[in-house]
A and B are shown apart, each in its own frame.
Chain A
């Protein structure tokens, strides 16, 4: 069993605990086998992660520590260049930047560097 980020959930996985949104509203019960429709519902209610019957360690690790340091450095530079002016002293602006970095690093996990 593992707590898995919703981005990494796959159709067919089995939910091992009742799933609720952030306000505690019940969405579907433990034992549900995930379909495309469940994944969509999780996204539209902003659920971040759920308990599923999946290998330990699966995506519980930050993708930023799973990609090669040189890839992370290149990605960080590319992303910074995309912002008009990134205020590194502003914690909210930096949180947005960190979330974008993770979002773009996610698909690179497990990919071989050129």
Chain B
């Protein structure tokens, strides 16, 4: 089998590159319009009952910890912020896009639990580090493995080669990807995030989450996602397909200038939020992905 280069591979992934569902597109148009207002965005969101329910559940979950109940989409938008909701809109549409992954490759419910936990962890790390717009890191964490998802969902023959290589070598899935493809899921994720129009700092954070200190963008941003991924793997909250906890890159924690007690603080925070956030994203227990 001829292994394609990264650009050839990405352009052969129609599901990954496809356009958003009509309602998601409408929300995007309202968000990006010069006449954008809370009420115009709320009106577009309310046309999509699934997204409305997700947004309100998330607004009322421990992820935000607002002291009172958030009852309307307009209130949620004003509390959470329009830009953060934009990130949630796009991530939700991406979650919906990849429904057809072979259960032999990975359990999708577990995959999304891992991704959501990584989103929570990345947001909490950015908050603890007092970085600007910590909520944006939730999107970077949520989508950090989107390149692997694209492989699993759209390139089953290549995925089979990677899994076979991992079985023989006993290495990580990441190493097996590099051996078979010459690049890895983080590289693919970076290309996809760029295609979807995410800002460069989120593109770099996803593309470099396994080599944070080699990032040509911000080493700090890439370290946020790397450390989040490491903690969530160690906590065994879902799985991205790796059988074992990958190594914490030396220096990544130090790049965030945290004290040691931050490990415990972050772990407690992630544990307390994951079930509520998962419940907000997935409306039914037995159905990991809602189809519009």
Which of the 9-residue segments A10-18, A52-60, A66-74, A94-102 touches chain B? A94-102
Q: Which residue of B lies closest to A103 (CB)?
A: B267
Q: Does A82 contact B (CB under 8 A)?
A: yes
Contact in complex: B266, A46 (CB < 8 Å): yes
Given A41-B62, A46-B124, also A84-B272 (CB < 8 A): no
Q: Number of A-B pairs whose CB atoms are under 8 Å?
A: 88
* A18: min CB distance to chain B, Å: 15
Specify which chain A residues have a CB less than 8 angstroms from the CB of B264 in the assembled complex.
48, 99, 102
Partner of A96, one of B231, B268, B273, B276: B231
Contact in complex: A100, B235 (CB < 8 Å): yes
What DSSP secondary structure best describes chain B's contact surface? helix
Contact in complex: B263, A40 (CB < 8 Å): no
Q: How large is the interface on A (under 10, 10 to 19, 20 to 34, 35 or more residues)?
A: 20 to 34
Given A40-B276, A82-B245, A84-B245, also A90-B263 (CB < 8 A): no
Contact with B along A27-45 (1 / 0, CB 8 A): 0000000000001111111
Among residues 237 to 292 in chain B, which have CB atoms less than 8 Å away from a CB atom of chain A? 244-248, 250, 253-254, 260, 263-269, 271-273, 276
Specify which chain A residues have a CB less than 8 angstroms from the CB of B36 in the assembled complex.
none
* A23: min CB distance to chain B, Å: 9
* B76: min CB distance to chain A, Å: 16
Contact with B along A83-96 (1 / 0, CB 8 A): 11101001111011
**With the chains together, A90 CA to B272 CA distance in Å?**
27
**With the chains together, A44 CA to B65 CA distance in Å?**
6
Q: Does B109 contact A (CB under 8 A)?
A: no
Q: Which residue of A lies closest to B270 (CB)?
A: A43
Specify which chain A residues have a CB less than 8 angstroms from the CB of B236 in the assembled complex.
82
Partner of A7, one of B172, B250, B265, B268: B268
**With the chains together, A77 CA to B65 CA distance in Å?**
37
Q: Does B105 contact A (CB under 8 A)?
A: no
* B132: min CB distance to chain A, Å: 16
**With the chains together, A103 CA to B234 CA distance in Å?**
11
Specify which chain A residues have a CB less than 8 angstroms from the CB of B128 in the assembled complex.
22, 46
Partner of A43, one of B67, B244, B260, B269: B269
Q: Does A75 contact B (CB under 8 A)?
A: no
Specify which chain B residues have a CB less than 8 angstroms from the CB of A41 in the assembled complex.
62, 65, 67
What DSSP secondary structure best describes chain A's contact surface? helix
* A68: min CB distance to chain B, Å: 23
Q: Does A64 contact B (CB under 8 A)?
A: no
**With the chains together, A43 CA to B124 CA distance in Å?**
11
Q: Does A109 contact B (CB under 8 A)?
A: no
Q: Does A6 contact B (CB under 8 A)?
A: yes
**With the chains together, A40 CA to B275 CA distance in Å?**
11
Among residues 93 to 112 in chain B, which have CB atoms less than 8 Å away from a CB atom of chain A? none
Q: Which residue of A lies closest to B245 (CB)?
A: A83
Contact in complex: B64, A96 (CB < 8 Å): no
Specify which chain B residues have a CB less than 8 angstroms from the CB of A42 in the assembled complex.
272
Contact in complex: A91, B271 (CB < 8 Å): no
Contact in complex: A48, B250 (CB < 8 Å): no
Contact in complex: A84, B271 (CB < 8 Å): no
* A98: min CB distance to chain B, Å: 8
Q: Which residue of B lies closest to A41 (CB)?
A: B65
Contact in complex: B260, A44 (CB < 8 Å): no
Contact with A along B220-238 (1 / 0, CB 8 A): 0000000000110011100
Q: Does B63 contact A (CB under 8 A)?
A: yes
Q: List 10 A-B contacts (CB under 8 A).
A: A39-B272, A46-B268, A47-B268, A48-B265, A83-B247, A87-B248, A93-B247, A96-B231, A99-B267, A103-B267
Apart from the given pairs A40-B61, A83-B234, 14 other A-B contacts in the complex at a CB distance below 8 Å = A40-B272, A43-B271, A44-B63, A44-B64, A44-B273, A45-B269, A84-B172, A90-B248, A92-B250, A92-B263, A96-B231, A96-B263, A97-B234, A100-B235
